[in-house]
Amino acid sequence: MVVRILIGTVRLFELRNGLGWLKRLGVVVAVGALSAATLFAGEADRKVLLRDITQIQGVRDNQLVGYGIVIGLNRTGDTQQTFFTVQTLANAMLRMGVQISPAVVVVKNVAAVFVTATLPPFSRPGMNLDVTVSSVGDAKSIEGGVLLLTALRGADGQVYAEAQGPLTTGGYSEGAAGNVKTVNHPTVARISEGATIERDAAVDLSRFRIVSLLLRNSDFTAARDTADVINKEFGKNVATAVDSRRIDVNVADSEAPSVPILISRIQNLSISFQSPAKVVVNERTGTIVMGGEVKLSPVSVIHGSLTIDVQTSQIVSQPGPLSGGKTETVTETKLTVNDAPAKSIQMKEGANVDELIKGLHAIGATSHDIIAILQAIKAAGGLQADLEVI
């Protein structure tokens, strides 16, 4: 299979078996030259609040994790082969003053689990958190179980919360002897507000001398515009763009009564923002997501499908009468080739990817075909955007 990508009338590239989905397609892409200034002229800016595109350095979530056991299951817990569950139950009984041998423990109604939660910024002791409980053994289901008191630790090893309570599952598993009906994931459950915060992890904003804003998407222009709009708001140079993502604001120079008031004032400012030109495609599912500012150079796409079907079968060859021959098994191969007529579409100057995809749908291209064609156009230099394949 050969795919030819033609740029203008000068250069010709032949790619053999190198573009994923193009192995079963015939695609020819012709691309003309067009300057970037012409492509992006006239694009309308949109206003966005700084709160939507930035975050404050140091103000963040923290992940918590703990190990515990779920009790009260209806014979759907871990088996005896899950030794750490047996050992955990024996240790829990020992802490309650009951000493038993792990060899005699039966854990059909018990399951070992990991408990995870997210500690939001400015959390205070006494606040509650939602937790997720996930089986780590071979339990069939943890539906109807109760999580025993479990310590949740942060990355520093300190205990920040304690979790306990009845589980709520979004699925179930019923049946026996190989005839089992399972819905969703009965080995994962939630406890709403099942954890209580025990340690203060809040950031002390009063100690901030510099408030650093971090752009969610790196962009030098957005960083410059953010610093400019902040300086304009305060009437002096209080903000500096450090790089394409970070903008520092001097708290003392802003003369704000407090850091929270300063942050609130900054977050309600708006700037003109352009979304990055990017196309993200998922070859496994055929999903295509594109930004609104993606543009194409003038392009013609000729698309045809080539299907080659090879079938191999075993047949028994009988000898002729009175020939004295033997019956033999031979291989028979059938080859079928179906080459559909090529269809074409043309995109005018300044066309976007949405128009291209509508045109490809009109000629019967599937989502996987479209992904292959986008890759070919990008290779030819006709797609004025980043193409990310996941």
Structure token digits, residue 159? 């205990």
Q: Of 197, 229, 257, which marks where a domain is finished?
A: 197
pLDDT digits (tens, 9 = 90+) for 291-340: 666 777 776 667 665 454 555 566 666 666 665 666 676 666 665 655 66
pLDDT digits (tens, 9 = 90+) for 208-253: 999 999 999 888 999 999 999 999 999 999 999 999 999 999 999 9
Determine, yes or no, domain membership for 333. no
Q: Are residues 231 and 282 in the same domain?
A: no
Q: Are residues 355 and 291 in the same domain?
A: yes
Band (pLDDT 50/70/90 cuts) for residue 199 is very high
Structural domain count of the chain: 3
Determine, yes or no, domain membership for 137. yes
Q: Out of 27-36, 158-167, 324-333, pick the least confident.
A: 27-36
Q: Are residues 212 and 192 in the same domain?
A: no
Q: Are residues 6 and 96 in the same domain?
A: no
Closest CA to 84 of 68, 73, 104, 100: 68
Q: Are 108 and 47 in contact (CB under 8 A)?
A: no
Q: Are residues 157 and 216 in the same domain?
A: no
Q: Are 213 and 241 in contact (CB under 8 A)?
A: no
Q: Are residues 69 and 37 in the same domain?
A: no
> Whole-number mean pLDDT of the chain?
78
Q: Are residues 371 and 295 in the same domain?
A: yes
CATH number reported for the structural domain that contains residue 252 in this entry: 3.30.1360
Q: Are residues 66 and 184 in the same domain?
A: yes
Q: Is the pLDDT of residue 68 over 70?
A: yes
Determine, yes or no, domain membership for 215. yes
Q: Are 327 and 375 in contact (CB under 8 A)?
A: no
Give the rounded percent of residues in the chain with a pLDDT score beyond 90: 38
Span 143-160, mean pLDDT? 94
pLDDT for 349 equals: 65
Range of the domain at 90: 62-197
Q: Is the pLDDT of residue 62 over 90?
A: yes
Determine, yes or no, domain membership for 331. no
Span 17-42, mean pLDDT? 39
pLDDT digits (tens, 9 = 90+) for 7-29: 332 232 333 333 444 334 444 44
**CB neighbourhood size of 332 (10 A):** 10
User: Global pTM?
Assistant: 0.65
Determine, yes or no, domain membership for 325. no
DSSP SS3 for 101: coil
Kind of pairing between the strands at 54-56 and 2-7: unpaired
